[in-house]
Amino acid sequence: MKDRVRQAPRDNMSQCFLDSGKTETETEPKPARRKKNPQRRARIMPLGGAGEIGMNMTLIEYGNDIIAVDCGQMIPDDELLGIDMVIPDINYVIERANKFRAILITHAHEDHTGALPYLLEQIKAPVYATRLTCEMVRERMKEFDLEREIILHEILPREIIRIGDMRIEPIQVTHSIPGSLAFAIRLPFGNIIFSGDYKIDPTPPDGQLFDYQTFARYGEEGVIALFADSTNIGREGTAGSERAVIEPLDRIFQQASQTIIFSCFASSLHRIQIAFDLAVRHGKKVFVTGLNMHRNLRIASETGALRVPHGILREFRELKRIPPGERMILTTGSQGETMSALNRMALGEHADVKINIGDTVVLSSRIIPGNDKAIYRMINHLFRRGAQVIYESIDKVHVSGHAHREEIRTLISLCKPRYLVPLHGEFRHLVEHKALGVEMGIDPEKIFILQNGDVLEFDADGAARAGRVEVGRILVDGHDVGIDEIVLRDRRHLSEDGMVIIMLVIDQQNAQLISGPDIVSRGFLYMDENEEFFNDCKRIVLRAFNDCEKESKEEWAVVKDAVRRALKKYIKAETGRFPVILPVILEI
């Protein structure tokens, strides 16, 4: 791969600029080894993505400059009831906003970009990424009315970005989405590499090859530390090329006599390109459903990351005019998401698409642990409607975008790092990655397993742990950012034992009970089948109210507490359960 020449506009505010396309080895001699200086150590700390999958964000602090590699979100687990997403705790950055210079984005997946709006609405800093990633970030910013505020710099592999004393070189890698990068960060005392998400695809659909040469060049020059993806450390061999799915998908398209419903992640643009190419080969017209799918197709086609054959896309109003054997519906929902287009098809609730006997549904994605119940429930509904459903365990309709063990070995061999830092994985993945590094001859004392907030310091003499910074995670629920743990506790309580509402109407003049108590049960016991029990609850509430002193009845809080304690004790004794008890008092 030849080095590319490009000059980006200078940004004096951020102290960032791009050199001409020459590589660092061509423009400067190798930096001389410096004496240890506590003020010139590099501090590297993950705010997310260490010990978990998702929410990737790592800070590099050197001198008076801080940069971030990625700024992603995480899908909430089942315990985070009602939470839409989880993002890194960015307080460390906010408190040092005057030193924060730039954000380097490895690729456009939301676990690497999803938290950008929440950071950039508080700090103005340039974002560096490939063209496709920039446009997808810009689209995301429109949702927050920030598209005019954000500073986006499109970069190409092997361009040099200068930020203070740091020089950063993007390195082309292959992944499940075009425009994916690793970053080599050159410091005065040596080089650090962040792999980003990668696999080594020998025949990527877009022809943009994994850049062995640049990784090897840094390996020969010397790499202090490699921060590397650990997602598929438990899988032997290699992930395989995206092209590996062409033959089985071609066979499926050939055998399908009715409509093909093809589902994958909206960001799996290589897979979508293959689906388009096969649709042309087999004479299919393509109908697209799903908001994210429409958005990503538009951006990818505008940036040249996706080639949409002329005349192949059709509007849904034409669906009934195209024979079933000539239709392919491209959709989201391969993970069984409740409101996704495919799940609504499975339930017969989609406005435009009805599943018919003989249709073929292809789930061209991995069944992500935690989503399996929802996915198999959706698959069952599809089978009930007469569809043939093909997924990963049935046929080879998916290949991973993350490196398997042999590819991880290859990257370590190319970079020859003095220190290895596994990232992007649960704790078990990081431990297995460390074991692989030891197997390859790296001193176990030089392999660091980090958790979010851990700080590593690097200088010419090596690396060492340097304590922790206080970090957590920020919960986002709709427009509310930073949901309190008490709210989550109440939601969990409600989900486990339900709620009992007690309503009392009190005369404001004499504090006498005018009406009630009335009781409403939600998620606790069905009232029609437990009438006697709830009548007893009313008697307990009435007794607790009557036992209150006259002066106490004028204080709502006292009455509510007395009623709540009495009813809680009775319900616990009778049922062994602990519903949320909510007294409501109306004064008239």
DSSP-derived secondary structure for 511-526? --EEEEEEEEEESS--
The CA-CA-CA angle for residues 583, 586, 588, to 5°, reads 160
Look at residue 18 and tell me if it is in a domain: no
In whole angstroms, give the CA distance from residue 178 to residue 565.
Answer: 60
| 473 lies in the same domain as 520 | no
| 82 lies in the same domain as 226 | yes
pLDDT at 8: 39
Final residue before a domain boundary, out of 361, 390, 419: 390
pLDDT at 77: 57
Look at residue 19 and tell me if it is in a domain: no
| 75 lies in the same domain as 133 | yes
Domains of the chain: total: 3
Look-up of token digits 């943009």: 208
pLDDT at 492: 60
Are 462 and 34 spatial neighbours (Cβ–Cβ below 8 Å)? Answer: no
pLDDT at 511: 67
DSSP-derived secondary structure for 29-49? PPPPP----GGG-EEEEEEES
pLDDT at 508: 67
In whole angstroms, give the CA distance from residue 135 to residue 196.
Answer: 19
| 68 lies in the same domain as 205 | yes
Which residue, 199, 201, 197, 200, is CA-closest to 229? 197
The CATH number linked to 133 is 3.60.15.10
| 47 lies in the same domain as 185 | yes
In whole angstroms, give the CA distance from residue 160 to residue 469.
Answer: 30
pLDDT at 22: 41
In whole angstroms, give the CA distance from residue 538 to residue 34.
Answer: 79
Final residue before a domain boundary, out of 477, 509, 525: 477
The CATH number linked to 351 is 3.40.50.10710
| 515 lies in the same domain as 448 | no
Are 419 and 463 spatial neighbours (Cβ–Cβ below 8 Å)? Answer: yes
| 179 lies in the same domain as 45 | yes
Query: HEC profile for 67-113?
Result: EEECCCCECCCCCCCCCCEEEECCHHHHHCHHHEEEEECCCCCHHHH
| 339 lies in the same domain as 384 | yes
Q: Is the pTM of this model over 0.85?
A: no
In whole angstroms, give the CA distance from residue 267 to residue 112.
Answer: 12
Strands in 85-88's sheet, in edge-to-edge order, are 85-88, 473-477, 480-481
Look at residue 34 and tell me if it is in a domain: no
Bridging pattern class, strands 327-331 and 260-263: parallel
pLDDT at 33: 45
Look at residue 31 and tell me if it is in a domain: no
| Tens digit of each residue's pLDDT, the chain (588 residues) | 444 433 334 443 344 545 534 434 333 444 444 444 445 799 999 999 999 888 999 999 999 999 999 999 887 655 554 556 788 989 899 999 999 999 999 999 999 999 999 899 889 999 999 999 999 999 999 988 888 889 999 999 999 999 999 999 999 999 999 999 999 999 999 999 999 999 999 999 999 999 999 999 999 999 999 999 999 999 999 999 999 999 999 999 999 999 999 999 999 999 999 999 999 999 999 999 988 899 999 999 999 999 998 989 999 999 999 999 999 999 998 888 877 899 999 999 898 899 999 999 999 998 876 677 889 999 999 999 999 999 988 899 999 999 999 999 999 999 999 999 999 999 999 999 999 999 999 999 999 999 999 999 999 889 999 999 988 877 776 555 654 555 556 556 555 678 888 887 877 666 677 777 888 887 777 777 777 888 888 888 888 887 776 655 556 677 788 888 888 888 888 888 778 888 877 777
The CATH number linked to 564 is 3.10.20.580
| 273 lies in the same domain as 369 | yes
| 264 lies in the same domain as 281 | yes
| 373 lies in the same domain as 258 | yes
Look at residue 96 and tell me if it is in a domain: yes
Look at residue 188 and tell me if it is in a domain: yes
Final residue before a domain boundary, out of 448, 477, 506: 477
Look at residue 266 and tell me if it is in a domain: yes
| 251 lies in the same domain as 233 | no
Length of the chain in terms of residues written = 588
Domain range for 513 is 491-587
Look at residue 164 and tell me if it is in a domain: yes
Q: For residue 14, give the H/E element and its range.
A: none
